[in-house]
Structure 1
């Protein structure tokens, strides 16, 4: 009997320690520690022995009730919301006009007025009202899965610094081509031949005839072929520029240009295209990397622009006359004499327009601008446009690539062609 009372007293102490509240009732530090540890404690009425039946089964059942896990909570479900009404149908988008006359003419719509124009369309323009087209790219050109290398990005951007010159170049799809999902037809090539002080930099810009099928390929071919011709003769060309042998330069560059146009005619025959459609205006700059040589050479064929920003004012450097040399002077690459203007070689006609050449000396602070017709036309025809470009590009420090592109993107109503601009800043 004494052993049974001792065992029951020990078990009562264990239960008091497990459920005790740590306060009075004869409970020790163990009970208080259990309460502080987060164990659920009994109230004051639970302290001390109980007169209720106290069998082993009763105690096991009591312990199981104490430690039994709560019921599994019901999974969360999102509240049920009434379905949103279907959106109202959008008005139909008018199809653009077709035909060559509509290519560069913005559509007349209600959004053409300043009061109805989206804010994005009013940014970065000159004139009394913003251009009709949105300033950001719209539709992508259609892609041929078998000719993905024929795709042209909307915008090309490049730059470099050699000696006293800093080069910036950008070519962008025009507003009209963006709206209609047409490919950028302007082509841009920047290339360095050689290294060190003997290096020669070539920048070529080509623009094909409007609305010609596959014309952008002709522009890229023109840039590639004149680039290859200059690259194979760059050593002699760079020497002629350093020594100011302008007659040799003129005759040699004219012959290289003629051969490039002869290749274009040959490619037109391969494609079954009319030679006068598979061609391009081609305008180039030769820039020596030698910091002691400040001669800049322009040559080319067809429409575009050549300008110089000096003392905050634009000067038109477009050559007033063409084909200065018509004789049989040998070219700078040591080949046979060039053909007279207008004659034909075995590869085809020399070129579709007179050859243009000019060599100019660059002064510190000058900015030389070579551009396609898409930029030359508003620069010549819109004084506010020319003023804005001069204000942004006359700073002594050349702009960064992004700033140069942003300025070249300045829009003028009615001028929607592709734009290609090459700027050379002289330190």
Structure 2
């Protein structure tokens, strides 16, 4: 029955069998060629591009006649590669020959029964209209060996490079020079191999060109720096231990452990340093020494000032007093540097001594006034002050020292140290009248009465005695070429006078050769001596 409930007839479903019958002409395999090549040619003809002629196909050989190839993938039949003769041992290795791809040779890969491609050839890759397609080698072929990039195997073969910088390890090609009578064959080939590869005899002398360019040592040997000299190592550590206490509201008052400076003007080279002593480093106290280096003016009219000061011992504001003393003398010298430079060049010794004496007293007077403002005694807020003036004029070799207080001024000349600190005559006053100071009778015969110890009130006409001041020191000396002038505070002057080994060490370091650098000068000035642990501040001038 049908879906409507009617009884089926005998020929009702004939159209179904006719549609899917094997003998029907409109289905199944077509009579015309319907391969991938034919479809590709049809597409090319549709777009209007003329296909390239197909390469002739080689005659297929039975699979049994084709010997296996180690580089072939299983299931592919292609003619074997021809045997190549081995390369000669004296020839460089040849670049492997690049064989054409499978589709360029016209080989036809085998197809599996279920691939649906039948016996059709490769999908028309060799007939592509673009000749640039299909240039990669076959998957089973070995990739071509790239050309060598290093120097040639034979050193006699010159290396030729394109214009531009020469690669590392090569030298540009230099044609050998020949005379008119020399034949080209007689010229020796130029080796372009790296210099490190050329064998050099051990006993062969260097060529004359290298012998003439052999560097010579212009600086004589100097002994190495040492940590300490004397009978034994110092008690304190060589490096800083504790930092001084800091006030958050007075951070400008902090003092660095070490100050290092230097310059070169005219014929003189300056090195200056100020280092905290071992004792202050251990106790965490600030450096009591202060250092100031300044240049006033320009050109040959310039004047260089080196000022160093040391605050009073065991006072809380010693480092502040030392810094203030350097600042005051720096301002005074800076305002008068033109006149001072003229007096130095003219060698006006009297004018220099009196003028610098007034500037020094004025600067130290500022310290006494500052102590009165702070409500402390002048002895607690004072400092020793030592200065050095260096003119920048190369024609002037006069060096002027002035100052007040302890320290040292030395000169290293001809390998020997000279202590040229100015000597101040001892001021001896008259004898003090008192008990036992005079005889019982005068030359006239008058007898003296006994001192009953009755005090008398002071006279209103007598001036209040000021505290004794340190004498002013001044020296103007003319430097010679090769001299070394050293100005220092008591922290370095005392061990230099008391320990001969320190003087010998500095003599060996500074007597010959160029002036030391900043780091070397710092190492030289902080050579320690047992028993001397104060701050050290020094300024040395080398004369060219």
What TM-score do you get using the length of structure 1 for normalisation?
0.66
In the alignment, is residue 281 of structure 1 matched against residue 398 of structure 2?
A: no
Report SS of the residue matched to 2:378: coil
Which structure has the greater CA radius of gyration?
2
The 4+ residue runs of structure 1 with deviation greater than 4 A are 1-4, 25-28, 348-351
More strand by share: 1
* Distance in 2, Cα, partners of 1:301 & 1:235: 23
Per the alignment, residue 197 of structure 1 pairs with: 300
CA spacing shift, 1:23–1:389, aligned 2, 3 Å? same
- 1:329-408 matches, cutoff 5 A: 352-408=469-525
In the alignment, is residue 136 of structure 1 matched against residue 186 of structure 2?
A: no
* Distance in 2, Cα, partners of 1:295 & 1:243: 10
More helix by share: 1
* Distance in 2, Cα, partners of 1:395 & 1:316: 19
CA spacing shift, 1:26–1:388, aligned 2, 3 Å? closer
Report SS of the residue matched to 2:353: helix
* Distance apart, 1:132 and its partner CA: 1.8
Per the alignment, residue 24 of structure 1 pairs with: 74
Per the alignment, residue 339 of structure 2 pairs with: 236
In the alignment, is residue 208 of structure 1 matched against residue 258 of structure 2?
A: no
Ranges in structure 1 where 5+ consecutive residues have no aligned partner: 5-21, 29-47, 50-121, 325-343
* Distance in 2, Cα, partners of 1:350 & 1:202: 29
Report SS of the residue matched to 2:365: helix
* Distance apart, 1:24 and its partner CA: 3.2
* Distance apart, 1:351 and its partner CA: 7.7
CA spacing shift, 1:253–1:349, aligned 2, 3 Å? farther
In the alignment, is residue 164 of structure 1 matched against residue 267 of structure 2?
A: yes
Report SS of the residue matched to 1:156: strand
Per the alignment, residue 372 of structure 2 pairs with: 269
Whether the aligned pair in 2 keeps the contact of 1:322 and 1:354 (CA below 8 Å) is: no
* Distance in 1, Cα, partners of 2:335 & 2:226: 45
Per the alignment, residue 412 of structure 1 pairs with: 529
Per the alignment, residue 539 of structure 2 pairs with: 422
Ranges in structure 2 where 5+ consecutive residues have no aligned partner: 1-19, 29-71, 79-111, 114-224, 428-462
Identify which of 294, 303, 308 aligns with 2:411: 308
CA spacing shift, 1:262–1:323, aligned 2, 3 Å? farther
* Distance apart, 1:393 and its partner CA: 1.0
Per the alignment, residue 11 of structure 2 pairs with: none
Instruction: Show CA shifts across 1:163-218 (max 9, x none).
Output: 11010000000001111111111000101111111111110110111111111000
Instruction: Show CA shifts across 1:251-306 (max 9, x none).
Output: 11001101111100000111122101100110000111111111111100000000
* Distance apart, 1:142 and its partner CA: 1.2
* Distance apart, 1:396 and its partner CA: 3.6
CA spacing shift, 1:323–1:194, aligned 2, 3 Å? farther
* Distance apart, 1:27 and its partner CA: 11
Report SS of the residue matched to 2:399: strand
Report SS of the residue matched to 2:380: coil
CA spacing shift, 1:192–1:410, aligned 2, 3 Å? same
* Distance in 1, Cα, partners of 2:486 & 2:229: 20
Instruction: Show CA shifts across 1:114-161 (max 9, x none).
Output: xxxxxxxx9511012111211111111111111111111110000110
CA RMSD of aligned residues (A): 2.9
Per the alignment, residue 297 of structure 1 pairs with: 400
* Distance in 2, Cα, partners of 1:134 & 1:420: 19
* Distance apart, 1:350 and its partner CA: 9.5
* Distance in 2, Cα, partners of 1:250 & 1:396: 34
Report SS of the residue matched to 1:191: strand
In the alignment, is residue 245 of structure 1 matched against residue 362 of structure 2?
A: no
Whether the aligned pair in 2 keeps the contact of 1:265 and 1:349 (CA below 8 Å) is: no
Report SS of the residue matched to 1:276: helix
CA spacing shift, 1:123–1:395, aligned 2, 3 Å? closer
Number of residue pairs the alignment of both structures matches? 304
CA spacing shift, 1:227–1:349, aligned 2, 3 Å? farther
